[in-house]
Structure 1
Amino acid sequence: MLKQRHRLFVTLFGVADAVAVAAASFAAVLVRHAVFPAEPWPAGAIGWVRAALIAVSVPVTVATLAALGLYKPRREGSLFGEFWLVCRAGLVSVGTIVVTLWAIGSGLLQAPLPPGSPTPIVLGVAITDPARLQLGALAVLIPGLVGVQRLGLRLVLRAMRRRGRNLRHVAIVGTGRLGQIAHRTLTRNAWTGLGVAYFISHHAQTQRTECQGVPVVGGLADLDAIIDARPVDAVYVALPGSMGGELAGLLRRLERHAVDVRVIPDVQPRYLPVSMAVSELEGMPILSYRESPLSGPGGVLKRAIDIVGACIALCIFAPVMLAAAIAVRLDSPGPIIFRQTRISLGGESFQIYKFRTMRHLADETGLPAWTARDDDRVTRVGRWLRKTSLDELPQLFNVLRGDMALVGPRPERPELIDRFRDDWRGYMLRQHVKAGMTGWAQVHGFRGDTSLRKRLQYDLFYIRNWSIWLDLRILGLTLIRGFVHPNAM
């Protein structure tokens, strides 16, 4: 029954994708003629080009989506990751259209405006070639329409699963800490539709009858009989690390049953890894234990937001920065901008920029430390700049240079990092992302001379749970309460 439902959903997604791509093809033609209404076309050419676009784009896009695994079960996958794959499929489709139509000489790629025709302006850009406009529109419309319809279908499926429909029943092998973590995680994420039917103890025999409210139906010695008597769709193997030597034998036993098998490795220390991924090299599985969450498409999007956001912020705050620079110059002798070596992504050092808030050379004591409240080294203007966090505005140039991001853990000095890396387990995980102008810890009040333990906890939460939406939330909280804060000194 479940496999029949899966085939039904695959068909549904395939048909919906094909319709969305066809609609994108027609819409691209409409965009072309809306911008160039007087463009001369031979009789029947519009219909021919539309048919050619659909004939090429629909199968190519659907085939690319299939090759990228988007018609496989994706209950544990993220919506953002799926949308990125849809964008890749759209680009492949447009590239194939360009090559195909060029090869058959359709004329789509060689249709400049007639002499003397007015040049339309779209988003401030002069458009001189209708064909390129159409292909550009198609490159945007395919991911847009396919992504929107897939988002809608995924949200409908998630809502159904929360209501107890379209469920997959799973068994968890292991009643220890790891098995209990697996159960809690699946329970919290009801949208996956993965419901735990029962536990199988990691001991050969057990007298235990329940674990976290779920039945424990036996031990490893009875595994085959249990699965035969109580069929499930998938088995999650969550053995303690001390039983690693028994994993291969257990997997061989599970090969006798028509179930999907998921292995949860016992690699969850006090500070969880940044992210984990599995790859393969000539059949050898490789588990990436500490990989930056920004190493994929998310990092590209985050960088784009950083550049756009920094440019907008510089335009908005330019008068404020000019006034602050004048105030610093008039208040005390010394440079306007303070530079200091800090550490960011991958342990790379860079020069951070800030408006100078201390007396010139007052920080050259050789003793790395944070500024204390009522520090007599801070100037009158500097105290106000620190209180309002306006001394940080020059770091927008660090963001544009790529040294920092708008959002991330605050950068530290190399001497402090050398001290903290041994004293605080997990501290170096902060270097798996770029340092930021603001962060999860800062918007919760942990800045300046505050609890290092709390700041580290908030930084690690940000790194492990990073998303574009979390970044936008932090930026919003910074605007609301981040500029003036009692812990800013």
Structure 2
Amino acid sequence: MIKNNQKLLNTLHFVIDALAIIFSYVAAWYIKFRSGIFELGAWHLSLQEYMRVLIFLVPEYLLLYYIFQLYTPKRVQGRRLEAWRIIQANVIGLMTFILVLYLARETDFSRTMMFVFFCINVFVEVVGRNILREELRNIRKKGYNQKHILLVGYSRAAEQYVDRIRANPEWGYIVRGILADNKPRGTEYRGVKVLGRTENLSIVLPENKLDEIVITLGLAEYHKLEHIVGMCEKSGVHTKFIPDYNNIIPTKPYTEDLLGLPVVNIRHVPLSNALNALLKRGVDLFGAVTALLLFSPIMAATAAVIKITSPGPLIFKQERIGFQNRPFLMYKFRSMVVQDEKKEKGGWTTPDDPRVTGFGKFIRKTSIDELPQLFNVLKGNMSLVGPRPERPQFVEKFSEEIPRYRVKHQVRPGLTGWAQVNGYRGDTSIRKRIEYDLYYIENWTLGFDLKIIFLTFFKGFVNKNAY
């Protein structure tokens, strides 16, 4: 059964990690003292004294790997999450070891060697685990190390779960069938059949041939949930619950404990965390100041050309809706002739719009007209990365058409965003744009921001949909 396989795999993984730590440490010692890369001073500790440290170092790192959940099944665990946990564990391991050296007043032990060990060990662990991941996936594709599961309840959640399993055979899941009260026996979905009614669980569970029960009841059947969970818990079979609310709450909810009462939050917004928000704000300030210094010659030249070619102000200010539905004035280089405010609010810019100046077409296509928004970032109205803000009249219109539209206002709007680097700028699908914006809001990380900024230089500046 899969449980025994997992125990064997964890034991093997434990041994491989121990060997990887030893290898990385010995390699670091060789690079520091024998490779010639680093300047050698006088040796104060012998090779034996350095190697003796492994007696404490290996258990410390293995314990950290266990704490950071690096021995959980890899079937659906993401590569990036695993790599991030490896880095975290190694950072704490390195800091702990250096602290011990400091408290012990050990000045002869090479800190450089420990830093080299950190770099090698992170690399070896990440590469090694990815190799192991690929080997496991290949084994599962061939029909070995499979996890046999039974679905209880026929619903949209059941179909979506089967869809994902069929699309990812490397996970090694075998769906033995479905027990359902709302479908006749023999009903089939993508090769998975309804085997009987939910009460048949009392017959199936004692046979002990299943690795996992997945409860996929429809919303109308939730009154059966307590009884079904009770049967599963009594048998000791690992049980999962997939709520059938994907069309009601189509995002990433998360739970919190309110004195023993589980509370489901409909949407996970990482930037609601004060530390994350502070970190993002720091990056915004640094990035805006740096960008202003880098682009100041372009901005000065743009201002001069606008002044020469078209009478009127250099900067165009327009009301947009931002963080927490608050209006603010967004800045742009003026790309149109000066016009009546009511006409300006009339609608979208169209191809060959007579209001756009000759130079205005160029700066709109190249996004140079957006550069003054760096001052919006400094003021705190905007961020470097986030959903693009819209005018009040369009916010009202889109809010009626797209129920989740205003969710984008839970974070600061940005100069660029995930939707924009994926091609959704200007006259493109608002619904698709919102899908990308919601994905960004719920999956924000500092690394994700940096990725979007990087992609903006290749995909985000030139806009074929800008008129």
Equivalent of 2:236 in 255, 258, 282:
258
Does the 8 Å contact 2:44/2:108 carry over to 1? no
Does the 8 Å contact 2:61/2:93 carry over to 1? yes
Does the 8 Å contact 2:20/2:121 carry over to 1? yes
Cα distance in 2 for partners of 1:245, 1:433 equals 37
1:391 maps to amino acid: D
1:429 corresponding residue in structure 2: 407
Cα distance in 2 for partners of 1:367, 1:78 equals 46
Deviates more, 1:67-76 or 1:298-307: 298-307
Residue by residue over 1:374-426, the C-alpha shift from the partner in whole angstroms, topping out at 9 and shown as x without a partner, is 44443321122112333234446666887656654322245543443344211
- 1:367 to partner: Cα distance: 3.6
2:223 corresponding residue in structure 1: 245
- 1:303 to partner: Cα distance: 8.8
Equivalent of 2:158 in 175, 179, 182:
179
Change in 2 beyond 3 A, CA 1:375/1:310: same
- 1:35 to partner: Cα distance: 6.0
Does the 8 Å contact 1:187/1:195 carry over to 2? no
Cα distance in 2 for partners of 1:142, 1:398 equals 43
Secondary structure of 1:217 counterpart: strand
Does the 8 Å contact 1:49/1:108 carry over to 2? no
Deviates more, 1:364-373 or 1:246-255: 364-373
- 1:225 to partner: Cα distance: 0.7
2:351 corresponding residue in structure 1: 373
After TM superposition, list the pairs within 5 Å mapping 1:284-433 onto structure 2: 284-292=261-269, 320-340=298-318, 342-344=320-322, 347=325, 352-359=330-337, 367=345, 369-395=347-373, 408-414=386-392, 416-432=394-410
Change in 2 beyond 3 A, CA 1:207/1:149: closer
Cα distance in 2 for partners of 1:283, 1:2 equals 32
- 1:81 to partner: Cα distance: 1.6
Does the 8 Å contact 1:199/1:211 carry over to 2? no
Cα distance in 2 for partners of 1:160, 1:305 equals 44
1:37 maps to amino acid: E
- 1:64 to partner: Cα distance: 1.6
Cα distance in 2 for partners of 1:396, 1:145 equals 41
- 1:172 to partner: Cα distance: 0.9
Structure 1 residue 199 corresponds to structure 2 residue 173 = no
1:125 corresponding residue in structure 2: none
Secondary structure of 1:256 counterpart: helix
Percent sequence identity over aligned pairs? 34
1:252 maps to amino acid: G
1:51 corresponding residue in structure 2: 52
Change in 2 beyond 3 A, CA 1:202/1:87: farther
1:57 maps to amino acid: L
Cα distance in 2 for partners of 1:49, 1:88 equals 24
Change in 2 beyond 3 A, CA 1:342/1:57: farther
Structure 1 residue 188 corresponds to structure 2 residue 167 = yes
Cα distance in 2 for partners of 1:137, 1:402 equals 40
1:38 corresponding residue in structure 2: 40
Runs of 5+ unmatched residues, structure 2? none
Cα distance in 1 for partners of 2:105, 2:402 equals 65
Residue by residue over 1:208-267, the C-alpha shift from the partner in whole angstroms, topping out at 9 and shown as x without a partner, is 443332121111121111333472111110111122222111100111223210001122
Structure 1 residue 17 corresponds to structure 2 residue 17 = yes
Residue by residue over 1:446-474, the C-alpha shift from the partner in whole angstroms, topping out at 9 and shown as x without a partner, is 43344434433454466678789987887
- 1:320 to partner: Cα distance: 4.1
2:141 corresponding residue in structure 1: 162
1:235 corresponding residue in structure 2: 213
TM-score of the two chains, using structure 2 as the length reference: 0.82
- 1:443 to partner: Cα distance: 5.3
The number of residues matched between the two structures is 464
Change in 2 beyond 3 A, CA 1:481/1:43: closer
1:23 maps to amino acid: F
Secondary structure of 1:17 counterpart: helix
Residue by residue over 1:283-323, the C-alpha shift from the partner in whole angstroms, topping out at 9 and shown as x without a partner, is 44333320126679999999999899889977876654443
Cα distance in 2 for partners of 1:445, 1:431 equals 21
Secondary structure of 2:262 counterpart: strand
Cα distance in 2 for partners of 1:197, 1:330 equals 74
Equivalent of 2:193 in 179, 196, 215:
215
Deviates more, 1:31-40 or 1:234-243: 31-40
Secondary structure of 1:448 counterpart: coil
2:129 maps to amino acid: R
1:25 maps to amino acid: Y
Does the 8 Å contact 1:310/1:399 carry over to 2? yes
1:276 corresponding residue in structure 2: 253
Cα distance in 2 for partners of 1:222, 1:351 equals 63
Cα distance in 1 for partners of 2:382, 2:16 equals 41
Structure 1 residue 93 corresponds to structure 2 residue 70 = no
Secondary structure of 1:255 counterpart: helix
Cα distance in 1 for partners of 2:50, 2:263 equals 47
RMSD: 4.0
Residue by residue over 1:141-194, the C-alpha shift from the partner in whole angstroms, topping out at 9 and shown as x without a partner, is 443332232222223222332333221111111112221122112222323222
After TM superposition, list the pairs within 5 Å mapping 1:431-470 onto structure 2: 431-432=409-410, 435-439=413-417, 441-442=419-420, 446-460=424-438
Does the 8 Å contact 1:279/1:287 carry over to 2? yes
Does the 8 Å contact 1:340/1:351 carry over to 2? yes
- 1:85 to partner: Cα distance: 1.8
Change in 2 beyond 3 A, CA 1:487/1:268: same
Cα distance in 1 for partners of 2:171, 2:280 equals 27
Cα distance in 1 for partners of 2:215, 2:398 equals 36
Runs of 5+ unmatched residues, structure 1? 110-129
Secondary structure of 1:216 counterpart: strand
Change in 2 beyond 3 A, CA 1:174/1:43: closer
Change in 2 beyond 3 A, CA 1:444/1:18: closer
